[in-house]
Structure 1
Amino acid sequence: MAIKSFQGKRTTEPEKKNEPILVSDHMTKNLITFREEQPIEDAIDMLIKNKISGGPVVNDKNELVGIISEGDCMKQISESRYYNLPIDKNNTVGKAMIKEVETIDGNMNIFDAANKFLDSKRRRFPIVENGKLVGQISQKDVLKAAIKLNGNTWK
């Protein structure tokens, strides 16, 4: 005699909605920022102590006015070494920073952001809403977001 197994009515699993993965879900919100009037030596110290390669420059209203990077700081060091002088105490972040900053929309899909990184050769993009700096997304943030996903859920 055979034994029958009854598992009940078979149902199909409800389809999971594949929501787009947004930049705002993976951006860094607690940022280390710089000020235009800040001495370049202070910026270099902050980069080293915080183990970052750059960051946004904001004014008193938290509006993005530029971005400073290790490369910008290295230019200042290189110029002073070329003339065999110490770093000029009057060199500020405002003089060294990049003023025309490309930003990214927080509502952009993370994979569109990855393409933007590839096209622009940038390491980070600030996110601005209503004129105020609200976060920053880096290449590493995009990688972290992508690695958490299964290949079949990418959209």
Structure 2
Amino acid sequence: MQAHEMMIHDVYKVMETDSVRAVIKKFIEHRISGVPVVNHRNEIIAYVSDGDIMRYIGKHKDIFVDSLYTVTVFKGDNEEFDERIKKILDLNVLELAKRKVEKIQSHKEIEEVAAILGKKRIKKLPVERDGVLVGIISRGDVIRNTFKSIL
């Protein structure tokens, strides 16, 4: 089975000119955790996930990691945190998104899709044809399509 046979064709995506606010709205509206970032030609130029946003939120001065298992949070001003969150919403999506995007061509076999998702430890893989976004495949899509005929 090839990628185009199992991918989701109607892909939620954001434009390279969108703000983080637009990304968060998509996440909430559609109950998703990541989207490809495309340019005006629908070419994949980045990918932004909830993890990227969490890492950005966590980049502030009142957290200190003592060890692998100990995190100390210094009590700061809640208003200061709220202000940082508001500023994040107005950032351009490319300030948080990963520019090196794992993606796969639409004609690739399911084994290659599974290998990339597993090895790279990612949840979703954008699918492209002729350099343009045409779909997306999740780990769940691979599991369903691999085992549905034998269960």
Higher relative contact order (CA 8 A, sep 6+): 2
- Higher Rg: 1
Aligned residues: 131
1:86: which partner in 2?
Answer: 84
Q: Which has the higher strand share?
A: 2
Aligned structure 1 segments of 4 or more residues deviating by more than 6 angstroms? none
1:77: which partner in 2?
Answer: 57
Cα 1:42–1:79 change in 2 (3 A) is farther
2:34 to 41, 44, 54: 54
2:46 to 56, 59, 66: 66
Deviations 1:53-85 (A, max 9, x none): 101000111111100100112223334685633
Partner SS for 1:86: helix
**Percent of aligned pairs sharing the same letter:** 27
- Cα distance in 2 for partners of 1:105, 1:37 equals 25
How far is the alpha carbon of 1:105 from its aligned partner?
A: 2.1
Partner SS for 2:12: coil
Deviations 1:64-115 (A, max 9, x none): 1100100112223334685633331541211110011121122222123212
Q: Does the 8 A contact of 1:44 with 1:73 survive in 2? A: no
Structure 2: 5+ residue stretches without partners: 63-79
2:100: which partner in 1?
Answer: 100
Cα 1:51–1:90 change in 2 (3 A) is closer
What is the TM-score with the length of structure 1 in the denominator? 0.76
Partner SS for 2:104: coil
- Cα distance in 2 for partners of 1:112, 1:39 equals 33
